[in-house]
Amino acid sequence: MKVTVKYFGLVAEATEKSEEVLDLNGTLTALELKVQCLNGLAIADKESVQIAVNQNLDDTITLKDGDEVALLPPFAGG
């Protein structure tokens, strides 16, 4: 299945992309995809990164073909 992943903030910097389409095998929850995407990236606090599927903040959703996933780190600046 193909899933579009959008990156924000620190995550976009670490991946050097704002989005990409991933071709995934098997069944995967949003949380599992997040762990897979962030694995090996230079991000100190991966747990703080939230995940949205089709513009809904929920990491328990099982992904399906055509889903759009967003990885959202918290921002502090003001």
Partner 1 sequence: MSRYDRQIKLTEVGPGGQGKLRNAKVLIVGVGGLGCPAAMYLAGAGVGKIGLMDHDKVDMSNLHRQVLFQESDVARSKAVVAKERLEKQNSEVRFEVFEVPLTVENAENIINQYDVVLDGTDNFETKYLINDACILTNKPWVFASIYKNEGQLSVFNYKNGPTYRCVFPKSTRQNISCEATGVLGVLPGILGTLQAAEVLKIILGAGEVMSGRLKLINMMRASEQIIKINKRPEEVEKIRKNGIAPVYIDCDLKNKEQWYLDVREVFEQPKPKGKKVLSIPMSDLTLRYQEIPNNQEVFVFCQSGKRSKNAIEILKNEFGFHNLKNVEGGIETIIDG
Where along the sequence are the contacts to partner 1 (CB under 8 A)? 6, 8-10, 18, 44-45, 47-48, 50, 52, 55-58, 70, 72-78
Contact 13, 33 (CB under 8 A): no
57: helix, strand or coil: strand
Q: H-helix or E-strand containing 21?
A: strand 19-23
Q: Which is nearer to partner 1, 27 or 66 (CB)?
A: 66
Q: Which is nearer to partner 1, 6 or 35 (CB)?
A: 6
In whole angstroms, the minimum distance from the beta carbon of 74 to partner 1 comes to 5
State the DSSP code for 44: S
